[in-house]
Amino acid sequence: MRRSNSHIVLIVLISLSVFTAWIDPFNDKVSKGNKNYSDNKFSEAMNSYKEAEQYAPDEKKKSMLEFNKGNADYKMNNYESALGKYRNSMNSGDPEVQKKAYYNAGTTYMKMGKKKEAAENLIKALQIDPSYEKAKKNLEYLLKEKPQDKQQNSDNKSSGNQQQSSGPGEKENEQNKGDEKKNSTQVKNMLESMKNKPVRRQKGNGDGKKFLEKYW
């Protein structure tokens, strides 16, 4: 009798599981994608997130999927594609999704060695949430990182008695320098404001630049 009751309970549980997946395919697909992501099966995770997209009930959920797909792309070293998906999730209208998307975009740019773009996105994350410690840590890392030696481009140098051009390209270069200086000043001002509230570093986290935010 007890064995019979156990079988009945098992059948009911299995039926409930199937029924739940049927009535809520979005969360079922997302959960499957998250499980694959946790198991380092990033391609399979991406496929599950794509399958979930057709069942997304609203734009916020679609933005969440874009965020998760961006993480899967990042893990597969598809950085440009990841950035595109993070940008899509920035349009969610949800501050929590937006700040994490800016943070992950900043982390991706750091991975690509693009410090200016990384700083810009981390600053935007902090504008949404000034107490966002992960973003603060990565900004601190950017400021402390030693700049790489810039390679000189001999093609831009004049040789002999050649006169240098003063065309529109030179004005663009000056504008770029001005933008970089403005961005650098903004980063420094942001970090200066953090001194009164130093980031407490947890053991084993290092500089934090390798860690993505998740939305599950």
- pLDDT for position 59: 84
Q: DSSP secondary structure string, 19-70?
A: HHHHH-HHHHHHHHHHHHHHTT-HHHHHHHHHHHHTT--SHHHHHHHHHHHH
- pLDDT for position 206: 42
Q: Which of 114, 92, 110 lies closest to 101 in space, CA to CA? A: 92
- pLDDT for position 60: 84
- pLDDT for position 91: 87
74 phi and psi angles, rounded to 5 deg: -55, -45
- pLDDT for position 129: 95
**Residues counted in the chain:** 216
Q: Which of 16, 30, 4 lies closest to 214 in space, CA to CA? A: 30
- pLDDT for position 143: 83
Domains of the chain, earliest start first: 1-55 (no CATH), 66-145+178-216 (1.25.40.10)
Contact in structure between 98 and 120 (CB atoms under 8 Å): no
Contact in structure between 214 and 71 (CB atoms under 8 Å): yes
Q: Which of 50, 45, 44, 78 lies closest to 66 in space, CA to CA? A: 50
Neighbours of 38 (CB within 10 A): 11
Given a cut of 50, the residues of the chain with pLDDT beneath it are 1-2, 12, 15-21, 149-170, 172, 195, 199, 201-209
Contact in structure between 203 and 98 (CB atoms under 8 Å): no
- Burial of residue 47 (CB within 10 Å: 0-12, 13-18, 19+) is middle
Return the amino acid letter for 60: K
Contacts of 81 (CB under 8 A, 6+ apart): 70, 73
- pLDDT for position 150: 44
- pLDDT for position 65: 93
CA–CA dist 35, 3 (Å, integer): 32
User: Could you say which DSSP state residue 167 is in?
Assistant: S
- pLDDT for position 146: 59
